[in-house]
Amino acid sequence: MTKLKHSKYKNTGILFELLVRQIATDTLNNRDSNATNIIKEFFGKKTELAKELRLYQSMIKESFNSEYKASEFVNIILKERSKLSESTLNRQKYNLIKEIKKNFVLEDFFNYRVTNYKENASVYKLFEHKNSDNPKEYVECKSTLMEHLTGKSQNSDKIVSTINEEYTKQPKEVRLLAWKMLVENFNNKYTNLSDKQQNILKEYINSVDNSEKLKNFVVRECNLLTKNIKSVKITDKVTEIKVNEIVKLISKLKSSKVITESQILSLLRYNELYSELKKAFKWKVS
């Protein structure tokens, strides 16, 4: 039997979510996002991509209190999907990927973590099932979606998705007030951070869903920090011993397989230590 492979490059639900994530990242960095124009062009109301996206989102967002209702809903969605033009969809997806390649580094773009990835992949496989003769795979994919639609596979991603959905339903004034409060709280909490520490925190926020990118960033920062600390000529023996221990801790930090919030906080503290060392021994820095 032929096993149908999932392709995130052709998954309309995932492509759209990654574009939205790109807009959020660009906004955090105070720059205009090309992803906005891409969404307007390829997901306009009359495009086949927009029609398929609505089917994806229905599968992800809807919920039912019985398996029968969920099963009937899946069948209806599949029937609606069969009405879409395959040739038009393929052409629009090809042009969409082409445009994404033109504006972004493809590897970085697809490296972000996607919520409900498993469910989106299952929807894709059901939509493309005609290209496979594997009935077991079809049943497994449908079972995954049934569990999702009936709430039998509750997880943190679904909780976050529910919170986000509730947030988007609020009036514009409420959303703006919530955003203003979030920014003010952030500024109040981190007002005393140095420029270097703020940049580290900003990188963490932008790359929190991209583990490889965040890992590479932390390694670079640790290498630079180690070099800078070693450049400080410390004559006090006690301080020198303590600083050498810190250097060892920094080395352990960059060898971590997964970067967590606590490790980012450690990196912030180590940078603060370096700043204090420069003040205390600045005339000794080579």
Tell me the pLDDT tens digit for each residue of 83-120.
999 999 999 999 999 999 999 988 888 887 787 899 99
Given a cut of 90, whether residue 255 has pLDDT beyond it is no
Determine the Cα–Cα distance for residues 15 and 10; give it in Å rounded to an integer.
8
**Token pair listed for 47:** 């495009």
Structure tokens at 18: 């990654």
Looking at residue 210, the DSSP 8-state letter turns out to be -
The reported pLDDT for the residue numbered 75 is 93
- What are the sequence ranges of the domains in the chain? 12-169, 173-284
3-state secondary structure of 155: coil
Split at pLDDT 50, 70, 90, the class of 156 is very low
Write the pLDDT tens digit of every residue in 24-42: 877 767 788 899 999 999 9
Is the pLDDT at 197 greater than 70, yes or no?
yes
Mind listing the pLDDT tens digit for each residue in 234-254?
877 888 888 888 888 988 888
Output the average pLDDT for the chain. Answer: 81
In this model, does residue 177 exceed pLDDT 80?
no
Q: How far, in Å, CA of 7 to CA of 15, rounded?
A: 11
* DSSP code string of 110-153: TTS--TTHHHHHHHHHHHTGGG---HHHHHHHHHHHHHHHHTTT
Q: Distance (Å, rounded) from C-alpha 21 to C-alpha 10?
A: 17
In the predicted model, what is the mean pLDDT of residues 161-188?
Answer: 58
Residue 166 predicted with pLDDT over 70: no
Read off the tokens for 232: 């400080």
Identify the band that residue 286 occupies on the pLDDT scale cut at 50, 70 and 90. Answer: very low
- For the cut 90, the answer to whether the pLDDT of residue 157 exceeds it is no
Residue 112: predicted pLDDT: 76
Q: Residue 154 has which token pair?
A: 């509750």
Reply yes or no on whether the pLDDT at 10 is more than 80: yes
Nearest in space to 267 (alpha carbons), one of 208, 196, 205, 213: 196
Answer whether residue 155 shows pLDDT above 70: no
**What pLDDT shows up at residue 100?**
95
Side chain identity, residue 46: K
